A and B are shown apart, each in its own frame.
Chain A
Amino acid sequence: METTPIMTQNTSDKPVTCTSGIELKPYYTAADIPEQHRPNVDVAPGEGPYHRGFHPSGYRSKPWRIFQLSGFGKPEDENERIKFLLKNGETGFIMEHDRNTADHCYNVNHPDVVARREDVGLTGAVMQSVRDTAICMDGLPVDTSFGHAGGAVVQHAPFALAAYWTVAKQRGFDLSTISGTGQSDFNLTYLGCVTKEQIPTQAGLRFNADIMEFCNQHLPRWVPVSIAGYNAADTGLTPDQELGVLFANAVEYLDEIKRRGNMSLVEAARGCGGVSFRASIHIIEEACKMRAARLMWNQLLRERYDINDPKVGNLRIHCVTAGSKMTYQQPLNNIVRGTVMALGAILGGVQSLGVSGYDEALSIPSEHAHQMSVRIQQILQEETGIADVTDPLGGSFYVETLTAQLVEKAWTFFEAIQQQGGYLAALDSGWLHAQAGENQYQEFMKTESGEQKIIGVNCFKDDESPFQVDGFMGTDDAFDVATERLNDVLRTRHEQGAARALKQLEADCRTDKNIMPAMMEALAAEVTLGEIGDVYREIFGNWNTPIQT
């Protein structure tokens, strides 16, 4: 019998592939599910290998966290925006730091910052001392909410975390009970947004291990490091590569903790088991990626580290929708893109979610764009019924097949990274950048040729929208106020105490002592970010960046 496709006129014989390069069939049957994955199909969520999730009741017992990246201007501007988001229903909060100063550990008076003073505060608040952080944290629910202290950048994380914890202590919160993260992610500035100056990767590994050990002792509910596959994926790595690179990164942490011998591997696995992924627009593939991630983490812990405690294998996933999929043209279309990408993440069972603003390609989010990102999540959570049943895609011939195929392909990329000497070596050599760069180019050429249609960009370009979206420009006094406040701190702090604390931090950096106790002392003594950055530059030097940035 001859069948005629009804929905499509595409009679091309060209194979259809997903983003990971796996060829897709027109439909799937039970026979397609790979042999080794078949025993996994009929397990319940809450049972190994956990690709279906860790709790049978899923979102019924714990809705995903609405967790939006936020920050700009002065610390008080950022504080106001965070309170706005919380009032609108955000269920965690993220304190973003100004990238010019934070990423490079510069104070605002550094010549490279002064040279572009208008940029200061455009992507986050300037926080050079614990006084700035205190303004940003004013009235925030540190004890009842999951807080992101900033510190997404490896060399900046010890400062940002110590600042947050110091303010929390000053406010009377018990550090052993608060929860949150600082991320401290290599993919961000060693692969995705490479900074001008930063410590070499081995020094960064030491910082992260220091943070993990410090949290293990003092902040058991904190997520000390959070590997961000997002930053690798939005730089160009495909979903299978995103998985492979994330676990190759995790192995660096676990092996380092094992080598140092100060905390158990079980505790270390918990410490790096809160990760983030990008939720891109091929939503079935993305949902499969989240399922694959849980299965892989379980495999890795069992097979490589002999860890069988199911609680440790509980991979907690935060997701952010793909910023690079948001278009400059016809920006309101991005509300649809954000919704669809969020849906993919939720179908994959993530614990936490941020939706990119519809003005993502123009600027940081306006208040309205931010509110829409929250509303998208609330509509999905409250109106669609998507949260009623755990792992709603489980058992689909297609989804189970693609999940298993992604696992296999991701381990292949993981092995390729090991062949390069491991994750950090693959960053040092530029091997990962080359992979990402080639993917970026191929992806771009598909759009250029029209093979990949992007609505409003390379087709259907007429824009009749009466709604003007012109980007959010923040405030214009962030640099001046930060300069005043820096001078004020330097003038009014207890100078001897600050000098002593900085000296101790420097001494600890030179040995293999954990830097976090001295960092806490330094922040309490009002040592500033740029002073700490100068110590890093003196002791650790600069990473030999493998690409031109």
Chain B
Amino acid sequence: MDNAQKRILMAKTGLDGHWRGPTIVARALRDAGFEVIMIGMANTDDIVSSAIDEDVDLVGLNVGGHIDVAIRAIEGVQKARPELPIFAGGTIPPHAAKQLAALGVEVYPPGSQLTDIVDAAERLTGRA
């Protein structure tokens, strides 16, 4: 098992404090052996600098608000580290999920299986 060497940054793009989803996902990822760095509610600048400073292998965004805020964070990360994969979860309606997919971001809306999310993390970090 080499998941311990894989690091995942998790952040919330909104100022809304619902913590159920990201906390459960973080726990599942840790249980699968990943190192999860949770920075909670964060602005684009914080997300980008953490993605660089923490030398992560994957970014997970919890989106609870407008999709444009998430897109700004995604574009910031992609500009700084074009190779870094990103996935997202939260209350993302279908039209917004399409926008994220167009940016190469995998979307896991409410009701997604944890096993699918863990599988995606393994695939996106090149472990699987």
Contacts and interface: CB of A to CB of B under 8 A. Distances in A.
Interface of A: 99-100, 103-104, 111-113, 115-116, 118-119, 122-123, 189, 192-196, 235-236, 324, 327-329, 361-363, 437, 440-441, 444-445, 448, 454, 457-458, 470-471, 473, 547-549
Interface in B24-65: 24, 27, 38, 40-41, 43-45, 65
B91 A444 contact: no
Interface in B83-115: 91, 93-96, 109-111, 113-115
B5 interface: no
B75 to A, nearest CB: 14
B20 A119 contact: no
A361 B110 contact: yes
A458 B113 CA distance: 8
B115 A448 contact: yes
Interface in B1-26: 12-20, 23-24
B66 interface: yes
B91 A470 contact: no
B87 to A, nearest CB: 16
Which of the four size classes fits the interface of chain B?
20 to 34
A548 B94 CA distance: 28
A454 B41 CA distance: 30
Contacts of B23: 437, 440, 547-548
A444 B24 contact: yes
B44 A115 contact: yes
Contact of A116 (B27, B69, B93): B69
A457 B68 contact: no
Given A115-B43, A437-B23, A548-B38, A361 B111 contact: yes
A52 to B, nearest CB: 35
A116 B66 CA distance: 8
Closest 7 A/B residue pairs (Cβ)? A471-B93, A118-B66, A119-B65, A193-B17, A115-B43, A118-B68, A328-B110
Contacts of B38: 548
Nearest to A121: B66
A235 B20 contact: yes
A442 to B, nearest CB: 10
A217 B128 CA distance: 67
Contacts, number: 107
A235 B27 CA distance: 16
Interface of B: 12-20, 23-24, 27, 38, 40-41, 43-45, 65-66, 68-69, 91, 93-96, 109-111, 113-115
B52 to A, nearest CB: 18
Nearest to B96: A471
A100 B15 contact: yes
Given A119-B66, A361-B91, A549-B41, A113 B15 contact: yes
B40 A548 contact: yes
A99 B16 contact: yes
Nearest to A548: B38
A329 B113 CA distance: 13
Given A115-B43, A437-B23, 20 more contacts: A99-B16, A100-B14, A111-B43, A113-B15, A119-B15, A192-B17, A194-B17, A195-B17, A196-B17, A235-B20, A327-B110, A327-B111, A440-B24, A441-B27, A445-B114, A448-B114, A457-B111, A470-B94, A471-B93, A548-B19
A122 B66 contact: yes
Given A116-B14, A471-B94, A471-B95, A549 B19 contact: yes
A40 B41 CA distance: 49
A454 to B, nearest CB: 7
A76 to B, nearest CB: 20
B19 A119 contact: no
B114 A444 contact: yes
Given A118-B66, A122-B65, A328-B110, A440 B20 contact: yes
Given A548-B38, A548-B40, A470 B95 contact: yes
A21 B11 CA distance: 33
